[in-house]
Each structure stands twice: as C-alpha cells, then as structure tokens.
Amino acid sequence: MVIIVAGATGEVGKEIIKQLVAWNNAQTWTIIALVRTEGSKKVPTGGVQEIRFDFDRPEAYEQLIAHYRPNIFFCALGTTLKKAKSAGAFKRVDRDYPAQFIHALCKCSPGTRVGLVSSVGADRGGGLYLTTKKEVEEIFFKSHLAGTVVRPSLLLSHREEFRLGEKLGAEIIAPAYLLFVRTFFPNWNALWKFAPIETRQVAATLVSSVIGLGSGEPQKENPKVQILEGLALFK
C-alpha cells in the first residue's frame, strides 16, 4: 500500500504520520511525506520517505500521482492569513494546492481514497477562511473520489510557533468548554462541533476512517465521502 501525506510537517500532518507508522507495524506500506525542505526534521521517523515537492509547479501534481498511484492520500495543508500575507497567497495554500492534488488523483489514480483536513463551519462558509475550506470541500465532493473529510474546531497541539488564539484556546477555553459540554450536553453534537480537540485525536479518527473506511455521515452529493465532525471526531 502506498500512502502520501501533504502537509506532513504540520501539527495534524505529523500526527497523521505517527498514526500511519503505528498502523504499519509489519512495515509493508510505503509512507511518503511531501515536504518543502528535505531534512527539516519535522517529519516523524519510522520508515517514512520524505519527498521534496514543489507545490508551485503545476505539472508536479500529475507527475507525482501518476508515478506512485497511491492507495491513500492525506491532505493536511494549511496556512494563516498572517503567514501568507495576502488573501490570494492564503487561498493558494488552503485551496489551490489541495485542488491540484484532487484533480491529479481524479485523472491519474481515481481509486485513491482521500483524507482531507477541513474545518468546522466549512459546510456554511463565510469569511476568507471558511469560504476557502468550503470551496475545497466542494471540489472534493464533485471529484467523486472516495474518502473522509474531518471538520475539527480549534486544534490543541504542542506547536512551537506562537498563535494567540490557539494558546488562549488551549489554556482557558478548552478546559472550560469541554467540562461544560461533557457535564451538561454529552450528546449534543451542535456543541461538540465547536469543542477544541487534540491534533492527535483528529489524526487518529481520520486515519482509521480512511484506512478502515469507518462510518460517518455520507456526503449528499458524493456518498463515497464520509464527513466527521463534532462527537464523531472524539470517538
């Protein structure tokens, strides 16, 4: 089995790689981490092959997919407006790069199952961030590829980079919010959708869903896609 991970150096991507390494105890899978810079030491070790990928070279997408014909493709790419510095640059990372992988998969490897990291609220869109996530999801649904979309809320991780929202979320909002919903509304999915969640948990749920084709809410336009959000992410 060949598995490719884009965004493998990010907080969710690293956890996806760790999960894959743990599942691959017989070492029969080829796990490929796409990186911008080789040897950055960001990708967890354990038989993972790092491949330097030029995301700005349009022909690179089909070349990669046609060459490896992966069984599974995970996309955990993303940036922030602050880092990207413009809405266009933000959309390039969060929408255009994933879209190019999806198009290449459709053309060169339509049997590949996809695991896509999206966001809570992507179904509705609104604002640059959620509209971009909605656009990617729609491209995925229309592609008729099979797979899983996870829609986490605020991610809890051990990120080295300082992000104020995540810091406040992890230390103040998350403990209070989780205590509140667990105590008073343990089964109310509308509230669980917005519950802060560990990156490890998101990755574990996504990997087991895509590999094991676990159960989730089928997407209406493309029933081969499962959507996991709220309580489904905490299982």
Ligand X SMILES: NC(=O)c1ccc[n+]([C@@H]2O[C@H](COP(=O)([O-])OP(=O)(O)OC[C@H]3O[C@@H](n4cnc5c(N)ncnc54)[C@H](OP(=O)(O)O)[C@@H]3O)[C@@H](O)[C@H]2O)c1
Q: How far is the CB of 87 from ligand X (least distance, A)?
A: 14
Q: Which residues contact 127 (CB under 8 A, 6 or more apart)?
A: none
Cα angle 167-172-178, degrees, rounded to a multiple of 5 = 115
In the block, residue with structure tokens 């209070």: 176
Residues 138-167 that bind ligand X (CB under 6 A): 152, 154-155, 166
- Tally Cβ neighbours within 10 Å of residue 112: 24
Query: Can you tell me which of 4, 9, 102, 137 binds ligand X, judged by CB under 6 A?
Result: 9
**Can you spell out the DSSP letters for 131-171?**
HHHHHHHHHHHHHT-EEEEEE-SSEE---SS--HHHHHIII
Q: Compare residues 52 and 142 and give the one whose CB is closer to ligand X.
A: 52
Stretch that binds ligand X, among 7-15, 44-52, 206-214, 218-226 (CB under 6 A): 7-15
Q: How far is the CB of 166 from ligand X (least distance, A)?
A: 6
- Give yes or no for residue 78 binding ligand X (CB under 6 A): yes
- Give yes or no for residue 77 binding ligand X (CB under 6 A): yes
- Give yes or no for residue 119 binding ligand X (CB under 6 A): yes
Q: Would you say 199 and 158 are in contact if contact means Cβ atoms under 8 Å apart?
A: no
- Give yes or no for residue 16 binding ligand X (CB under 6 A): no
Q: Are strands 217-218 and 225-229 parallel, antiparallel or unpaired?
A: antiparallel
Query: Can you tell me which of 79, 131, 201, 208 binds ligand X, judged by CB under 6 A?
Result: 79
Q: Which residues bind ligand X (CB under 6 A)?
A: 7-13, 36, 42, 55, 76-79, 93-94, 117, 119, 152, 154-155, 166
